[in-house]
Amino acid sequence: MAPSPSSLWLLHAIALASTSISHATARDIAFPPLSPYASPFQNQDPLLAPLGGTPFTDKIGNAPWAGLTTFAKLPHVHCLAVEREGKERFDIAVLGAPFDTGVTARPGARYGPTGIRLGSRRLGGGYNIYAGESTYDDWAKIVDCGDAPLTVLDNTVALKQLDRAHKVIAARKTTSASYTTPRILTLGGDHTTTLSALRSTAERWGPVSVIHFDSHLDTWDPDVLGGGISHYAGVNHGTFLHIAHEEGLIRNTSIHAGIRAPVFNRHKDLGNDARCGFEMVKAREIERIGIDGVIERLKKRVAGSKVYISVDIDVLDPAFAPATGTAEPGGWSSRELLSILDGLTGLQVIGADVVEVAPAYDNVGEPTTLAAAQVADSLLTLMVQTPVKTVE
Ligand SMILES: [Mn+2]
């Protein structure tokens, strides 16, 4: 049977279509030619060596977002692994403490370490125009140890795990013959996590002064803030400094900065705070004495002693750091806090932390995690600027 006119048309259409397909696959798209640009860094890049003189576009060795997201693109080291002991030396370690079951208000800081690392994507390398430092290219080897493995179901066990993680890392070897104890920057986690850090620093460096940036005192008597329910309930993010004082981990030359939240009882709470070794700079004092005045007060208070700096991100105004557990209006701006931190240069900072970052409450511009990452960067810079010798 001869094909009907309509089926002939169909065959013709198929033939046309297949022609155009083969045409499309055969098309040679001409990209502009690559110029043989020789990067001055090419020779330092081991990934490029086998390619030999390749153009810049083949350079993948230090793309900014390559690999896993560590803090400021630092190398990751499994600092807790027994078999790594002595194999990877470092001078400063970043450690995540994903713990948020010691809070009295909004939970969520267990995701703080991840959030702060995301906020640090553009950090790492480069010259700090304020500090006059290239923090990540200086004498200190800085690594990211990842997060401490902490159970989410039992605070007592979790805090013991964190105590242990701090002590294991503090016992690792450094790259320096003069400065033999690695210092730790902890990414919280709620503020309870600072207790573990102080237990470790007291063992290595003796009792230290604490510069405590916060809108709250955090020296509450566990019998008061725990509600007197149990000892377990008394260990929380508002009592850890009281416990640190009781355990003899801190000196009575400590100071709060940025305080503004109300206290429960004027005489008891403030008297207790002074007994725990603290003075305070209130948030609004910055209007009167200025940034330099705040720096002067802090430096004067801790003069001559080793210092632990703890930054509760709620020291910032909620406009700058909404993503935190216990936000209090009337706080400092990111610029004010960073200026104060950078002004603490020269102090013997033996440990530090940024805590209470709960990324779930951040806005789409990520102001809190960006600010927390920048705070962490300033704390690392202080540590690099002033190496500290261990007491033998
Ligand atoms: Mn706090």
Grade residue 181 by pLDDT with cuts at 50, 70 and 90. Answer: very high
Residue 66 has pLDDT above 80, yes or no: no
Ligand 1 centroid to 191 CA: how many Å? Answer: 5
> Within a domain: residue 182?
yes
The CA radius of gyration of the chain, in Å to the nearest whole number, is 27
pLDDT recorded at residue 31: 77
Ligand 1 centroid to 238 CA: how many Å? Answer: 6
CATH number at residue 367: 3.40.800.10
Question: What is the count of structural domains for the chain?
Answer: 1
Work out the angle between the directed axes of helices 334-342 and 285-302 (0-180°, nearest 10): 30
Ligand 1 centroid to 360 CA: how many Å? Answer: 18
> Within a domain: residue 317?
yes
Grade residue 59 by pLDDT with cuts at 50, 70 and 90. Answer: low
Ligand 1 centroid to 83 CA: how many Å? Answer: 36
> Within a domain: residue 61?
no
pLDDT recorded at residue 65: 52
Grade residue 1 by pLDDT with cuts at 50, 70 and 90. Answer: very low
* CB-facing half-sphere around the CA of 251: CA atoms within 13 A: 19
Ligand 1 centroid to 322 CA: how many Å? Answer: 14
pLDDT (tens digit per residue) in 145-169: 999 999 999 999 999 999 999 999 9
Q: Is the pTM of this model over 0.75?
A: yes
Ligand 1 centroid to 3 CA: how many Å? Answer: 86
Ligand 1 centroid to 237 CA: how many Å? Answer: 6
* CB-facing half-sphere around the CA of 322: CA atoms within 13 A: 9
Work out the angle between the directed axes of helices 367-385 and 334-342 (0-180°, nearest 10): 10
Ligand 1 centroid to 197 CA: how many Å? Answer: 14
In this predicted model, which residue has the larger pLDDT, 359 or 40?
A: 359
Over the range 289-302, which residues count as b (16 or more CB within 10 Å of their CB) and which as e? eebeebbebbbebb
Ligand 1 centroid to 226 CA: how many Å? Answer: 15
Asked if residue 271 has a cis previous peptide bond (ω within 30° of 0), the answer is no
Ligand 1 centroid to 179 CA: how many Å? Answer: 30
Residue 219 contacts residue 234 (beta carbons within 8 Å): no
Ligand 1 centroid to 4 CA: how many Å? Answer: 85
Ligand 1 centroid to 130 CA: how many Å? Answer: 27
Ligand 1 centroid to 84 CA: how many Å? Answer: 34
Task: Report how far residue 120's alpha carbon sits from residue 69's, in angstroms, rounded to the nearest whole number.
Answer: 9
What does the CA dihedral 192, 197, 202, 205 come to, rounded to 10 degrees?
Answer: -150
Grade residue 50 by pLDDT with cuts at 50, 70 and 90. Answer: very low
pLDDT recorded at residue 51: 47
Mean pLDDT across the stretch 10-31? Answer: 61
> Within a domain: residue 280?
yes
Ligand 1 centroid to 332 CA: how many Å? Answer: 15
> Within a domain: residue 26?
no
Residue ranges near ligand 1 (ion) with Cβ within 5 Å = 191, 214, 218, 312
pLDDT recorded at residue 49: 45
Mean pLDDT across the stretch 110-127? Answer: 95
> Within a domain: residue 24?
no
Task: Report how far residue 244's alpha carbon sits from residue 222's, in angstroms, rounded to the nearest whole number.
Answer: 11
pLDDT recorded at residue 61: 57
Residue 226 has pLDDT above 60, yes or no: yes
Residue 64 has pLDDT above 80, yes or no: no
pLDDT recorded at residue 285: 98
Ligand 1 centroid to 169 CA: how many Å? Answer: 24
Q: For every residue of the chain, which 3-state class applies, written as one string? A: CCCCHHHHHHHHHHHHHHHHHHHHHHCCCCCCCCCCCCCCCHHHCCCCHHHCCCCHHHCCCCCCCCCCCCHHHCCECCCCCHHHCCCCCCCEEEEEECCCCCCCCCCCHHHHHHHHHHHCCCCCCCCECCCCECHHHCCCCEEEEEECCCCCCCHHHHHHHHHHHHHHHHCCCCCCCCCCCCEEEEEECCCCHHHHHHHHHHHHHCCEEEEEECCCCCCCCHHHHCCCCCHHHHCCCCCHHHHHHHCCCECCCEEEEEECCCCCCHHHHHHHHHHCCEEEEECCHHHHHHHHHHHHHHHHHHCCCEEEEEEEHHHECCCCCCCECCCCCCCECHHHHHHHHHCCCCCEEEEEEEECECHHHCCCCCHHHHHHHHHHHHHHHHHHHCCCCCCC
> Within a domain: residue 13?
no
In this predicted model, which residue has the larger pLDDT, 27 or 95?
A: 95
Residue 39 has pLDDT above 80, yes or no: no
Ligand 1 centroid to 186 CA: how many Å? Answer: 14
Ligand 1 centroid to 151 CA: how many Å? Answer: 21
Instruction: Give residue 156's domain range.
Output: 71-385
Ligand 1 centroid to 158 CA: how many Å? Answer: 19
Grade residue 278 by pLDDT with cuts at 50, 70 and 90. Answer: very high
Grade residue 134 by pLDDT with cuts at 50, 70 and 90. Answer: very high
Ligand 1 centroid to 279 CA: how many Å? Answer: 16
Residue 179 has pLDDT above 50, yes or no: yes
In this predicted model, which residue has the larger pLDDT, 253 or 56?
A: 253
Residue 142 contacts residue 380 (beta carbons within 8 Å): yes
